[in-house]
């Protein structure tokens, strides 16, 4: 099973962007470059800061968690970044939050 990651990036104005990838370092680099592979939502909004990421089992779980997080209010995303959304690991935090939703 290959690991996928769910990540959150903060923009210059404090907005949080959520995405998924198999390689966090490469994907963050793409976003920072502002090139054709960067998310349009992040272009011109730097400097960017990678605030959070966690590994999940597969692409299906990554997509589900990404969609769930995108529906959260910013306050809940900030709690996830701070590590205070239920569970002891980031993956457990996300799964617990998804089950509570």
Q: Is the pLDDT of residue 84 over 80?
A: no
At 32, which CATH number?
3.40.1440.10
Q: How far is CA 4 from the centre of its chain?
A: 11
pLDDT of 89 over the 80 cut:
no
The pTM of the full predicted model, rounded to 2 decimals, is 0.83
List the one residue out of 73, 15, 78 whose CA is nearest residue 43. 15
Residue 91 lies inside a defined structural domain of this protein: no
Question: Domain limits at 34?
Answer: 4-71
Average pLDDT, the chain: 86
Looking at the domain assignment, is residue 14 inside a domain? yes
pLDDT category of residue 88 using cuts at 50, 70 and 90? very low
Q: Nearest-5° angle of CA 52, CA 12, CA 22?
A: 35
pLDDT of residue 83: 84
First to last CA, the chain: 27
Residue 10 lies in a domain: yes
Q: What's the confidence (pLDDT) of residue 70?
A: 96
Q: Is residue 98 part of a domain?
A: no
Asked if residue 56 belongs to a domain, the reply is yes
Tally of domains in the chain: 1
């Amino acid at each position: 099973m290959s690991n996928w990651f769910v990540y959150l990036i903060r923009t210059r104005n404090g907005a949080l962007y959520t995405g998924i990838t198999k390689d966090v370092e490469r994907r963050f680099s793409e976003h920072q470059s502002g090139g054709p592979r960067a998310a349009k939502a992040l272009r011109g909004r730097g400097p960017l800061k990678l605030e959070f990421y966690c590994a999940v089992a597969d692409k299906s779980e990554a997509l589900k968690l990404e969609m769930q997080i995108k529906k959260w209010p910013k306050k809940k995303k900030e709690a996830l970044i701070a590590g205070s959304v239920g569970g002891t690991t980031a993956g457990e935090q996300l799964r617990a939050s998804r089950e509570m939703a």
